[in-house]
Structure 1
Amino acid sequence: MSEANYEASGLGRGEVSLPERERSPWFELTRRLIAAMSILVGTVLLVYFDRGSYNDATDPTNQVSLIDAIYYTTVTLSTTGYGDIAPVDDHARLLNAFIVTPARIAFLVLLIGTTLEVLASQGREQFRVARWRKTMTRHIVVVGYGTKGRSAVETLVGNGWDRESIVVVDPSPTALQEAHADGLAVVTGDATRREVLRRAGVATADQIIITTDRDDSNVLATLTVRQLNPEAYIVAAAREHENAPLMKQSGANSVITSSDAVGRLLGLSSLSPTLGVVMEDLLSYGEGLEVAERDLMVSEVGKQPQQLPDQVIAVVRDEKVYRYFDPTVTQLARGDRLIVVRPAKETPWAPRPGTHNEVVATQD
Structure 2
Amino acid sequence: MYRFFKSKFYLALFLLIFVFTIGVLGFRFIADMSWVDATYMTVITVTTVGFGEVIPLDEHARLFTVFLIIISVFVFAYAISVITEYILSRSSLRNIIQRKTLKKISRMEDHIIICGFGRNGRQAAEKLSAHDQEFVIIEKDRDIIERYETSDISFVEGNASEDEVLEKAGIDQAKCLITALPSDADNLFVVLSARQINSKLLIISRASQESSYKKLKLAGADNVIMPDKIGGEHMASLVVVPDLVEFIDNLSISGKNTTNVEEIKTEDITASGKEITLKELDLRKETGCTVIGYKTPDGEYVINPEATLKLAKESKIIVLGRPEQIELLKQKYDL
TM-score normalised by length of structure 2: 0.64
**Matched residue SS, 1:313:** strand
1:223/1:114 CA distance change after superposition, 3 Å: same
Corresponding residue of 1:312: 291
Q: Which amino acid aligns with 2:120?
A: K
Q: Find the aligned partners of 2:245 and 2:263 in 1 and give their Cα distance.
A: 23
Give yes or no for the alignment of 1:288 onto 2:258.
yes
Higher helix residue share: 2
Corresponding residue of 2:65: none
Gap runs ≥5 in structure 2? 1-35, 57-74
- Give the Å deviation of 1:270: 1.6
* Deviation digits for residues 203-246 of structure 1 (CA, Å, limit 9, x no counterpart): 33221111111222212211111111111111112234443232
Give yes or no for the alignment of 1:85 onto 2:53.
yes
Give yes or no for the alignment of 1:256 onto 2:234.
no
1:251/1:120 CA distance change after superposition, 3 Å: closer
Give yes or no for the alignment of 1:156 onto 2:135.
no
Gap runs ≥5 in structure 1? 1-52, 55-71, 89-104
Corresponding residue of 2:19: none
Give yes or no for the alignment of 1:185 onto 2:154.
yes
- Give the Å deviation of 1:294: 1.5
Q: Find the aligned partners of 1:189 and 1:225 in 2 and give their Cα distance.
A: 15
1:331-346 aligned within 5 A: 331-335=309-313, 336-343=315-322, 345-346=323-324
**Could you say what the CA RMSD is over the residues aligned between the two structures, in angstroms?**
4.3
1:210/1:330 CA distance change after superposition, 3 Å: farther
Cα pair 2:289 2:325 within 8 Å, conserved: no
**Matched residue SS, 1:353:** helix
1:1-364 aligned within 5 A: 76=44, 79-82=47-50, 84-86=52-54, 117-119=87-89, 121-122=91-92, 124=96, 128=100, 131-132=103-104, 134-162=106-134, 166-285=135-254, 286-296=256-266, 297-298=269-270, 301-303=276-278, 308=284, 309-325=288-304, 330-335=308-313, 336-343=315-322, 345-346=323-324, 353=328, 356-358=331-333
- Give the Å deviation of 1:117: 4.2
Q: Find the aligned partners of 2:262 and 2:132 in 1 and give their Cα distance.
A: 13
1:325/1:242 CA distance change after superposition, 3 Å: farther
Q: Report how many residues are paired.
A: 271
Higher RCO (CA 8 Å, separation ≥ 6 residues)? 1
* Deviation digits for residues 99-118 of structure 1 (CA, Å, limit 9, x no counterpart): xxxxxx9xxx99x9977643
Q: Find the aligned partners of 1:190 and 1:179 in 2 and give their Cα distance.
A: 18
Cα pair 1:281 1:287 within 8 Å, conserved: no
- Give the Å deviation of 1:256: 2.2
Greater alpha carbon shift after TM alignment, 216-225 vs 117-126: 117-126
Greater alpha carbon shift after TM alignment, 233-242 vs 260-269: 233-242
Q: Find the aligned partners of 1:244 and 1:356 in 2 and give their Cα distance.
A: 40
Q: Find the aligned partners of 2:330 and 2:117 in 1 and give their Cα distance.
A: 37
Q: Find the aligned partners of 1:116 and 1:136 in 2 and give their Cα distance.
A: 30
Q: Find the aligned partners of 1:161 and 1:77 in 2 and give their Cα distance.
A: 59
Q: Which amino acid aligns with 1:314?
A: G
**Matched residue SS, 2:48:** coil
